[in-house]
Amino acid sequence: MSEAPTLLEALKQRGIRVTPQRAIILSAVEQMHGHMTAEQIYAQVKRVNSYINLATVYRTLELLRQLDLVTEADMGAGALHYALHTHATHHHAVCRTCGRSIEFPHELLTPLLEALHDRYQFHADADHIVLFGWCDGCMHSVATTPT
């Protein structure tokens, strides 16, 4: 089994020009573990080259998203989060009160996705779902708070 190509190799294979700035951004994205915001990636990039601006990071992330090399998710923190597409398909349950994020496997959504297809002939784009609600601790504190 061969390894997936690096982001740099993936862009070159598609005939996309890789500038030195883009190469630095690609390296930072590949080093991320889990999910990161554009601003977090930008902070890493600035350590290598302080002349790269945030707009360049956003443009590169958008290109990677369009090429299906990264996924994008709104984790409810006011900024989009990005993850390498090779980061296994998974989903998040995010507490609206404390912001705690729980990763859960795709298999939990399989019955729902199958039902959507079988009942409504709908093919859900469900590579990275974020569900919002409340963790037990926050739900308990809301339920016991006197009004």
CATH of residue 69:
1.10.10.10
End residue of a domain, out of 85, 107, 129: 85
Q: How confident is the model at residue 88 (pLDDT cuts 50, 70, 90)?
A: low
- Asked if 138 and 103 sit in the same domain, the reply is yes
> Is 63's pLDDT higher than 70?
yes
Q: Which residue has the tokens 């409340």?
A: 134
Residue with tokens 């090429």: 67
Q: 72 versus 136: which is more confidently predicted?
A: 136
Instruction: Identify whether residues 16 and 31 lie together within a single domain.
Output: yes
Q: Could you tell me if 18 and 45 lie in one domain?
A: yes
Question: What is the spatial distance between Cα 41 and Cα 45, in angstroms, rounded to a whole number?
Answer: 6
pLDDT category, 59, cuts 50, 70, 90?
Answer: very high
Within this chain, do residues 7 and 77 fall inside the same structural domain, yes or no?
yes
Residue 9 — φ and ψ, nearest 5°?
Answer: -65, -40
Give the range of the structural domain holding residue 121, as residue numbers without chain letter. Answer: 88-147
139: domain CATH number is: 3.30.1490.190
68 close to 85: Cβ distance less than 8 angstroms: yes
Tell me whether residue 94 is exposed, middle or buried, using C-beta atoms within 10 angstroms of its C-beta: 0 to 12, 13 to 18, 19 or more.
buried
Q: Among 42, 67, 85, identify where a domain stops.
A: 85
81 and 40 in a common domain: yes
Residue 6 identity: T
User: Based on the domain organization, do 71 and 94 belong to the same domain?
Assistant: no
76 and 93 in a single domain? The answer is no
Neighbours of 54 (CB within 10 A): 14
Burial (Cβ within 10 Å: 0-12, 13-18, ≥19) of residue 143: exposed
How many residues comprise the chain?
147
Same domain, 92 and 146: yes
Q: Of 85, 102, 127, at which residue does a domain stop?
A: 85
Which pLDDT value is given to residue 1? 43
